[in-house]
Structure 1
């Protein structure tokens, strides 16, 4: 399974300015605060990408289902949002500390066979008569997750002289799971018949997982259900750890820069447990014998996992294997590495890479991304402009643009390729204040 967008806050999170955004990528970056105190007022990043749709389709939203399930290529579509609430960081001698609030919302369709998607969402109107046999060994998933987080960071300078500085840091995170929904169909095989819009499934088998908690048991594509249930009760913990090295480049007595800034980090080591009155995660075996037929028309326009589950159970073709009332989901653990190099005065180039450490196809795994990017950046004392260039597994090549003035920043990692109808739409912005 592939599930990739771009890294959030691409370009600004490796800015020479340092701060809480940099520390979200590597907690050791807290030691590089350029002011004694920093206040994060608000930051947000939203990304929508697909391997089948262009920018106009993603933003316009007309006939998305028809276009999404055209052709024979498995469908990947992802919405990913991060919102940073109030945060605070401070330096005391060789130590630095922070507290940061965050909220996350993710919707992911991964490795979905287009014939199944077309049959369920559109009653396969594009093929008025025909039969298609499918054998897909992937775990096809429709997944949604919303949760909140409060993180406490600490970093220390381990060694420092006039030329070099080494730092290490850790971020301890309290997790507040809100809502969850997962529909997984592993090792699906079967035959879809379409007789003038009467769509049925026969000679079919699959291992299904249907899990939900909170409001996403209802419509898991409705963003209001994410926004209204992000922060649940404390029920999970996670950790980020990182190290940082700087080769210094002193410009004058009042301003310190670097020739090279390098960091390594492992983030999101942990999990959270969902508990709610309607909590349920059940593994099923789907078995539709040859010569018997499951009506697929009944699932058209159904977006509630509870309704899907009840329709399948009523058909008699679904057998329960195991049920859990409370279930644990793993955070998307990643390893990241980056190097920010000063090429000439005021001009830097950042190379960033991120590798997921868990596979995305497990039903209890929140999906994440592999990514590599290169970001040239011009930096003045109060202004910077940059252009992140990335290679993405879902949306392919993306090129963006962003700038920061004082503590305000705004940007997109795909705005330039979007002008050519690229396969990604994203934007981020924020405001932070540095205080001496």
Structure 2
């Protein structure tokens, strides 16, 4: 079934390190205005990688000690939420002038999201109701849209940042990144306002008295299966078919430099920023493209055998089974379709507490509705990060509150242009945390 293998897919964005005092191309991912705080004349970003899985059901111990994770995922009554994503930053570079800094970047994205799926419904489709029914029946009634969504795409970005104010004590930057979008592959299953009765008799799970609005959309290799890692890897970069943008503003209350200041230091007492990220959309138009809205209706003595879905791997198979059942009626659809980027508001502040010790607070708030089918999901996150800046070496300890996985803490390091870390490594090792992530990268500063 489509949920099988979810934990094989990977996992967010450089938590903590994004507000490093060693500024370059990477920092523009958080706020394009930060690029004009660049530490060196030239910054060359060689590689960056981060991966994260967060959910509200499975703990690290569950993943290590259990083989049948679908049974655990669909236990209880709380809706299932899971987010898995991979981001790879490729070659990028930037150059700083007196009042301007210009940069280019390249990024690949792979996302998989389960959004507010009723565990009884998920269990019925995946496990034939083993967890929820136990030989009885359950009535499911939801007034929201349940989604399973997978997306891959690539970006080429060009950033310009410049100073509106550049004084000894105060600096005010603005910046914008324009993005060319290369949609790779897409799959979405949405079931809005689902009502129905699930019963299990003699090992067969049946769906009766059902009504729902259903969206089934797919494009590229994720039409075949959107839970297999190879399908994300093979379809990450498609043809140019979309544009996007990040815009931001940044203020620094600058620190008084010492008599012999060290070269390439970004010195401040207070650093504030605000950015709108991932404005824009992209159009999917592969040969196998399809986005169709249906009405699912099972009434009277009619019933749908849910055991048919246990070994299904793709949305096209689900669509075919439902159409062959006669209970799915097409309302409208389109071959090519547009998908909105996961637009977010980023707001942060970083304050110098004592020499070499800083504390930052970072808020990421999504601006779009994750229940909308043609929308890539984003998570609301709040992060507090104490960090020690020793010049060549930095240490970060992020404390994160994530709307899906709850509280996590981790550890990160930077040595020159190399960095490595995790926002959940400590909690993942010490508790049964519901998030695991890792990132690393390497960049070079010149002059």
Q: Secondary structure at the match of 1:65?
A: helix
In the TM superposition, residue 6 of structure 1 has moved relative to its aligned partner by 10
Hey, which bits of structure 1, 4+ residues long, moved more than 6 A?
none
Equivalent of residue 101 in structure 2, options 96, 100, 116: 96
Give the secondary structure class of the aligned counterpart of 1:137: coil
- Which of the numbers 149, 158, 173 marks the counterpart of 2:179? 173
Query: CA–CA distance in 1 between the matches of 2:82 and 2:65?
Result: 15
What is residue 384 of structure 1 aligned with on the other side? 394
SS of 1:182 mapped into structure 2: strand
Judge conservation of contact 1:49–1:395 (CA < 8 Å) in 2.
Answer: yes
Pair 16,60 (structure 1): closer, same or farther in 2 beyond 3 Å: farther
Deviates more, 1:142-151 or 1:296-305: 296-305
Structure 2: runs of 5 or more not aligned: 1-9
| TM-score calculated relative to the size of structure 1 | 0.97
- Higher normalized strand content (fraction of residues): 1
Report what 2:301 is aligned to: 291
- Partner Cα distance (1:174, 1:60) in 2: 43
From 433, 438, 441, the counterpart of 1:422: 433
Partner of 2:212: 206
Which of the residues 31, 39, 50 maps onto 1:34? 39
Equivalent residue number for residue 431 of structure 1:
442
- Count of matched residue positions in the alignment of Structure 1 and Structure 2: 432
Q: Is the 8 A contact 1:260 1:340 kept in 2?
A: yes
Instruction: Map residues 224-239 of structure 1 onto 2, 5 A cutoff.
Output: 224-239=230-245
Q: What's the offset of the Cα at 1:157?
A: 1.2
Aligned to 1:400: 410
Match for residue 16 of structure 1?
A: 21
Q: Gapped runs of 5+ residues in structure 1?
A: none
Q: For the residues of structure 1 that align with 2:249 and 2:168, how far apart are their CA atoms?
A: 19
1:362 CA drift (Å): 0.3
Q: 138, 141, 144: which one pairs with 2:144? A: 138
RMSD of the alignment, in Å?
1.3
- For the 8 Å contact 1:408–1:431, the answer to whether it is kept is yes
User: What is aligned with 1:253?
Assistant: 261
Per the alignment, in what secondary structure is the counterpart of residue 53 of structure 1? coil
Equivalent-residue separation in structure 1 for 2:37 and 2:347 (angstroms)? 17
Aligned to 1:335: 345
Q: State how far apart, in whole Å, the 2-side matches of 1:62 and 1:244 are.
A: 48
Residue in 1 aligned with 2:292? 282
Does structure 2 retain, via aligned residues, the 8 Å contact 1:155–1:168? yes
Contact 2:218 2:315 survives alignment (8 Å): yes
1:344-383: per-residue Cα shift (whole Å, max 9, x none)? 1111000101111111100001000111110000111111
Write out per-residue CA displacement over residues 307-343 of structure 1, whole angstroms, 9 at most, x where no aligned residue. 1000000000000000100000000111111111111
State whether residues 385 and 404 of structure 1, in contact with CA within 8 Å, keep that contact through their aligned partners in structure 2: yes
| Contact 2:11–2:86 (Cα < 8 Å) also in 1 | no
